[in-house]
Amino acid sequence: MKFFSSDFILPQSISKTKKHPIGCFFLFYLHEALNDIRTNILENWDIIEANLSALTP
């Protein structure tokens, strides 16, 4: 579960890029979306685990 252990961190080179504001906005939006997904998975992990165990024979 190392993938979920900490927040996703954007590399410094991305935050310093000023030539491509649309790309920076997209990466920031993607970063926020991934954090939201991670938060939802962590909050609902017991439900997800129960559903997965019900699927396996």
**What is this structure's pTM?**
0.50
| pLDDT given at position 2 | 47
pLDDT for 44: 93
First to last CA, the chain: 24
Looking at this protein, which amino acid is placed at residue 4? F
Rounded-to-integer distance, Cα 34 and Cα 18, Å: 23
Tens-digit pLDDT profile for residues 1-57? 445 445 555 555 555 555 667 777 888 889 899 999 999 999 999 999 999 999 887
